[in-house]
Chain A
Amino acid sequence: MSLRAGIALSLGLAALPAFAESGQEWLARMGAALNNSSYVGEFVSESAERTERLAITHRVRDGVVSERLVSLEGAGRELVRENNEVVVYLPDQKLAIIERRSGRSDLMGALPQFEGRMASWYKVDWVGRETLDDFGPTAVVAVRPLDGYRFGYRLWIDLDTHMPVRSDLSDGSGRVIERLRFTRLQFDNDIPDSAFEPALDRRKLRWVRQSPQSDDVAPAWRAAQVPPGFRLSMSGMQSVAGSGGPVNHLVYSDGLASVSVFVQQAAAGKARPQGTTRSGVASAFTTVVDGHQVTAVGEVPPRTLKVIATSIRPAGLATGSRPAAAANRRD
């Protein structure tokens, strides 16, 4: 070996980290940072349809998570969350919508471990290190879906703070459909309560409450067919703005992605024909089953929503959920 080659090899070895980097380990560090950190910052959400700048204030205090998102463009809409209560403020419509749920462990859940059954649907890969202009060196981890029923993620995790400072959401063929990147991030353990007050006159708003009437009720409806890995994780009744009556709410989850299914009596002459609506990373598929409007909503590919929604049956007729056929499985 020449001297030059020897020096190059030595330098290369020295540049390697002292341990084999693991995507799983970096995800665990990121999960811990997300669960425990308090911070303020700004980020940009980019999709094919829109680019939006938002401010975020996030505080964890005595186990209570508070978060405020503010759109920095236009009317200044806001979303404020305190534990399991979410309020969406729409000053341009003089409207506020409250969604409140009782304390459920799976609500606003933390990042899951990608082990066990999760490993059947997602593969976690260590990609490498990359230096971002705004944040310096990051660890890049990919969470790849193993079939076409769920989305994939690529995460840029800050080496010092372990916070995800950029994330790309990709569809089953690897195309990026949404990018979220921080442009400013500052840790602060003394964020006051006033930081979560909306910057608008709440007295001028019309308040609409979307609340569960009951959680954990025996489901009156069930999906006879679900994509592999999806299971029923919640069943309840609730009101939904504009629905005009109680709505069955079912949640199917593969441990990471989730699909909410809403079932309600179809109003005479107003049932919506089958079709898909999309909004950024979320889609909705609606159809009519046995005189009921069935709408599946979630951050999954439309095909996943379609499989679940079109197989919804009265619970007595759907004995358990059988998995749908594999879709473009990539092991």
Chain B
Amino acid sequence: MTDRIKEQLSAFLDGELPDPESALLLKRLERDDDLRGALSRYSLIGAVLRSDGDVPAARQVAARVSAAIAREPTRIGRHAWLPGRVALGRGVAGIAIAAGVAFGAVMLVQQVLTAEPEAPAAVLARAEVPPVQPVSDDGGPLDPPAESYVTPPAADVPAGIAPAELANYLVAHYGYASPLVRRSVGAGLISDDYPALVDAEPPGDAPRP
């Protein structure tokens, strides 16, 4: 799979791939098993990044694939260059692709969630230095909140807080952070690979006296 195809997949999952390119990508998906596998993996990565690894998030990504495919027959009908039989076949294939993506992403997420946690080591002071690993949720179901007050997500805004917003909130949180990790939070704030902090000024901005 070429880098260009990978970029197209990524853009497609972000909803940023132009329609003509989306149509070509869907055609390719119908006949390319490897590409469908890659789409599942990318869906998982996107779902985990945008959520905290829960399965419904993976399903949302698959739903986006399904919605894009659902638009296809309309476009095909408008150009009227495919016989109905083929268009129907394309619709069925599209559903299969979406189902495959959903199944693959959900299975992968479930594997992540049900993975055996590492047993806490019976640690000795001179034990091996363990590797540093990414932050992960502990897994296990959470109790649902007492009341259902959460409104449905907006359709056109990416899930989760943007990194720049997170930085602004972290500055506000810094003083309350645990004294054992406050320096880590500070180090994260001034790390060079941290994104831009603000893109708008709040009320009350003022030059430093």
Contact = CB atoms under 8 A, between A and B. Distances in A.
Contact of A210 (B124, B161, B171): B171
Interface in B144-162: 145-147, 149-151, 153-154, 156-162
B171 A285 contact: no
Interface string A186-228: 0000000000000000100111111100000000000011000
Contacts of B200: 241-242, 244
A66 interface: no
A271 B159 CA distance: 9
A301 B138 contact: yes
Given A46-B132, A238-B172, A242-B165, A202 B208 contact: yes
Contacts of A88: 171, 189-190, 197
B61 to A, nearest CB: 12
B192 A77 contact: yes
B149 to A, nearest CB: 5
Interface residues of A, number: 135
Nearest to B202: A239
A84 interface: yes
Contact of B151 (A54, A153, A234, A289): A289
Contacts of A324: 142-143
Interface string B168-207: 1111111111111111111111111110111111111111
Given A34-B179, A241-B198, A241-B202, A129 B168 contact: no
A108 interface: yes
B18 interface: no
A281 B134 contact: no
B168 A210 contact: yes
B189 A262 contact: no
Interface string A160-174: 000000011101111
A321 B102 CA distance: 37
Nearest to B205: A208
Q: Chain B interface secondary structure, helix, strand, loop or mixed?
A: loop
Contact of B188 (A244, A282, A286, A303): A282
A95 B197 contact: yes
Q: Chain A interface secondary structure, helix, strand, loop or mixed?
A: strand
Interface in A255-302: 256-258, 260, 262, 269-291, 295, 297-299, 301-302
A175 interface: yes
A73 B192 CA distance: 7
Interface residues of B, number: 85
Given A108-B175, A280-B184, A239 B159 contact: no
Contact of B140 (A155, A224, A233, A327): A327
Contact of B185 (A142, A154, A269, A299): A299
Nearest to A286: B161
A330 B112 CA distance: 21
A284 B138 contact: no
Given A167-B180, A209-B205, A90 B197 contact: yes
A47 B191 CA distance: 12
A128 B125 contact: yes
Contacts of B132: 46-48, 176-179
A155 B22 CA distance: 52
12 contacts: A50-B191, A70-B190, A89-B190, A153-B180, A171-B135, A176-B132, A243-B168, A272-B159, A277-B162, A279-B166, A286-B161, A298-B173
By Cβ-Cβ distance, the 8 closest A-B pairs, closest first, are: A273-B153, A275-B160, A128-B125, A74-B192, A275-B159, A148-B138, A77-B190, A173-B117
Interface of A: 34, 43, 45-50, 52, 54, 56, 69-71, 73-75, 77-79, 84, 86, 88-90, 92-93, 95-99, 101, 106-111, 127-130, 140, 142-144, 148, 151, 153-155, 167-169, 171-180, 202, 205-211, 224-225, 233-234, 238-245, 249, 251, 253, 256-258, 260, 262, 269-291, 295, 297-299, 301-303, 306-307, 310-311, 313, 317, 322, 324-325, 327-328, 330
Given A107-B175, A262-B169, 16 more contacts: A52-B192, A99-B172, A155-B180, A174-B119, A174-B121, A176-B132, A180-B187, A234-B176, A260-B169, A269-B154, A273-B153, A275-B160, A279-B170, A288-B153, A298-B177, A330-B120
